[in-house]
């Protein structure tokens, strides 16, 4: 399955990173970071539907998305056009992301930044803090309930918030033993990569109404925005639609009309 392949490659990347910088050294760097954390959850919990704009070069399902990729320019355009927060891919193999992209974006924008990655080890949490992230993604499909609790606690000690991602009822049940900062409903099935916005509707009905709810994947137009808003989403995470846009400002205007 593609998710297993992504995680296998992610382990290879992690091993390379740990050979360059030890766990003790990355902890030191995280604790010495001078970045003042910005609350991701407060940035996206608004009266209107918030947009988490993703800086993404490629994906396993679509391949190369943006040929003339300029992460800093894209992030600055997002901020200029009213994005509430930014998501940056740091997985190297399938998404062609980089920690260096996040560092460069952090230096250029004032919005909160989510480290979008496949987190499988505590090392990545300290790494996220050291590179200037404000929040991290924890994917229920690849972590046990105990791991999610442990990683959430470490993240909180570092000042980071966690977006816990689920895409079915069983994955959501794994979050009931603790209170996530934010819950992301991924409309993309991580095993088949099929997308269905009804996933947000189905899961939102059983999720704690006090949760900060993010609908992820498959948001392409204004109708999709209105649909997930009606289902209870506080925010949407949009990558491909914005990365393929010839005018980010115009795309934002169309997406947000009436929501």
Residues with catalytic roles = 54, 56, 116, 165, 186, 216-217
Contact 242, 54 (CB under 8 A): yes
Do the bridges between strand 63-64 and strand 58-59 make them parallel or antiparallel, or are there none, so unpaired? antiparallel
């Amino acid at each position: 399955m593609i998710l297993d392949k992504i995680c296998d490659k992610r382990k290879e990347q992690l091993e390379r990173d740990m050979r360059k910088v030890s766990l003790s050294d990355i902890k030191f760097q995280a604790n010495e970071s001078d970045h003042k954390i910005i609350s991701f959850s407060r940035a996206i919990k608004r009266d209107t539907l918030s947009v988490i704009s993703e800086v993404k070069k490629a994906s396993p399902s679509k391949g190369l998305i943006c040929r003339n990729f300029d992460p800093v320019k894209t992030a600055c355009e997002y901020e200029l056009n009213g994005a509430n927060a930014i998501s940056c891919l740091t997985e190297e193999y399938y998404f062609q992301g980089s920690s260096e992209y996040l560092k460069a974006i952090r230096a250029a924008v004032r919005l909160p930044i989510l480290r979008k990655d496949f987190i499988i080890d505590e090392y990545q949490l300290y790494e996220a803090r050291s590179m200037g992230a404000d929040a991290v993604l924890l994917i229920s499909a690849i972590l046990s309930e105990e791991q999610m609790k442990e990683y959430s606690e470490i993240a909180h000690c570092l000042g980071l918030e966690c977006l816990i991602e689920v895409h079915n009822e069983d994955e959501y049940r794994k979050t009931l033993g603790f209170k996530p900062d934010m819950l992301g409903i991924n409309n993309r099935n991580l095993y088949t990569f099929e997308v269905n916005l009804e996933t947000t509707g189905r899961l939102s009905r059983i999720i704690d109404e006090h949760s900060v709810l993010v609908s992820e994947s498959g948001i392409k137009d204004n109708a999709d925005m209105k649909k997930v808003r009606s289902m209870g989403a506080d925010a949407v995470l949009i990558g491909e639609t914005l990365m393929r846009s010839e005018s980010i400002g115009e795309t934002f205007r169309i997406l947000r009309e009436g929501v």
